[in-house]
A and B are shown apart, each in its own frame.
Chain A
Amino acid sequence: MSEFAGDGAWGALPDDLSLASGAPDPVLDPGTPGLDILVLVEVDAYPAPVLS
């Protein structure tokens, strides 16, 4: 692969831009199995103009 000196920018990559390495999976909470599940739904809403 050709490398190009150009304005000096080609070649080695900046090494300070890499993101942190991958974190391990979180250990999940197995929870308490239950037959009845309460489901709550919340929806943000904006008052609509009144239609005539």
Chain B
Amino acid sequence: MYLGFAPDEMPGLLPADLETPAALTTLRFSSHGYATRPTDSPANTRYPALLARGFSFSREAPLGIGGAALAPLSFGTVQLFDDGYAGGLAEAYGIDGREVRIRRGTPGRVGSWPALADCPLAWTGTAGGWRRAEGRVDIVLRDALHLLEVPLHVSRYGGAGGTDGGADLRDRVIPISVGYSRNVAPVLVDAATQTYQVHFRSIRAVRPKVRGVPQTLVASAPAAGQYSQDLANGRFTLGAQPDGPVTAEVEGDDQGGYAYTTAGCIRRICEIAGLSALLDDTAMAALEAAAPGEVGLHLAEPLTVLEAAERLTSGVGGYLSANRANRLAPGVLSAPRATAAGTLRAGDILAIAPLAMPAGVWPAVKRVRVAYAPNGAPTPDLADNGVSADDRAYLPLGGLEALSDLDAAIAAAHALAQEPAAVPGLYRYQADAKARADALLAFWRRCRGFAVTTRKYLGQVEVGHTFRLTHPDFGLAGGWSGVVQRWAEDMDDGTVTLNVIGP
């Protein structure tokens, strides 16, 4: 079907793939008009000059301590001129949920664009769909984080009785437990047999308590004060009607091994949701190394994979982001590495300005708090006897907090040094929470940063990369290293702006 002319004076034809509707095809557009070379793959393929403008996109980690791990998503659109051709494509094709790839190329000499193989990928994401406007067709861009906006809970009670739950549980989600949870409210699935459930499939261990009194595990039918367990189905059965609140200490999902670190739990919830292919292994390994320690989440109410992953990364004061390859890349901003990913000297820097630090960490931070042992079911109603002193103090609380050491030098130098809101940690142990608090303090105690604009390193920088800056101003003459908290690229003028921060 002949639809008109693309702006680069080449006739616009609907691709032949339209005649074979079963095939996924690739639509191609460019800023300047481009055709691949005979030696490229695909060969001799046109990219009509339909991009109305270059565009800018960015990624960032939240700035500060104790806030949400999810930075604002700043995805816009690819704008196409519509003289009939692009509009025709929008009518003829569905692109929502399909992959979008953006490549960049720089001219080798006047009038000569590089081979396709020399136009590296700058960004990969997902199309949200077409959006029509007057004289224009937009492709809405999304990234991997949107793919996590799906329900995490895959199993619900049927309400048929027994372990399928009674009518009161019909269509309610079966809880999910990953990692360690010190005190949660199990679901009573069968009142007649006093059977409870904490997870929809196999767990590593469970320890029920009645009014804070630990029950005794038996292999046979339990009597009063005892319980039996069905670890393969995340259930346990009490020996008698309880005389107060039933709670449980849980080491959760162990299908494929017990996952218990922050990175391990993120991987496990993505596996449960069938999304583990979205994870960036390099970023996951870095998160594992930077934030070890046993953590856990018990999720009795419906929520999305994104929300669960966000809670886990918030718990270590980290960030949840997608990288340029459209993979989930959670992480924590931590001390710059000895070997920088990139180096910018005065001659490379088009503009530089100090960054204003947010109120929570400015002018300085003297101490950081990280929560641990979050209590999913605070239990004020405790039995008079049989409750350990530890539990008697802990069970009525919402959780505990670990404090970093006080930074005496900062406290002395900065009369307004802060102790920001506690990081919502999910740690099992105080020592792990304190170690994370100390690490966060080391990074944020007197954090500074610079926004630098350059034409170098286009299409490559990721959040968390170490950059070394050398500049005659701002005390940077001797060189200073920080980590990238935000990057933004303007494809119109080929510039990259990096927010580089560090202690």
Contacts and interface: CB of A to CB of B under 8 A. Distances in A.
Contact of A44 (B98, B113, B264, B287): B98
B95 to A, nearest CB: 5
A21 B457 contact: no
B27 interface: yes
A52 interface: no
Nearest to A41: B29
Contact of B103 (A1, A6, A19, A42): A42
Interface in A1-43: 1-2, 4, 6-7, 9-10, 13-14, 16-43
Nearest to B98: A44
Contacts of A10: 205, 207, 251
A29 B308 CA distance: 35
A43 B80 CA distance: 13
* Interface footprint category on A: 35 or more
Nearest to B464: A25
Interface residues of B, number: 97
B309 to A, nearest CB: 16
Main secondary structure of the interface of A (DSSP, over half): loop
B9 interface: no
Interface stretch (B144-152, B339-347, B409-417, B436-444): B339-347
B258 interface: yes
A29 B21 CA distance: 41
Contacts of A34: 106-107, 455, 494
B339 A25 contact: yes
Contacts of B264: 17-19
B207 A4 contact: yes
B100 A42 contact: yes
B251 A29 contact: no
Contacts of A25: 337, 339-341, 464-466
A25 to B, nearest CB: 4
Nearest to A6: B205
A44 B24 contact: yes
A2 B249 CA distance: 10
B217 to A, nearest CB: 6
Interface of A: 1-2, 4, 6-7, 9-10, 13-14, 16-48
The 6 residue pairs across chains A and B that have the minimum distance between CB atoms? A33-B455, A22-B286, A22-B289, A45-B93, A38-B105, A44-B98
Interface of B: 17-18, 21, 23-32, 34, 47, 51, 54-55, 78, 89, 91-95, 98-107, 113-114, 116, 119, 127, 139, 204-207, 214, 217, 229, 231, 249, 251, 257-261, 263-264, 281-282, 284-290, 292, 294, 337, 339-343, 348, 373, 388, 390-391, 428-430, 454-458, 460-461, 464-466, 491-494
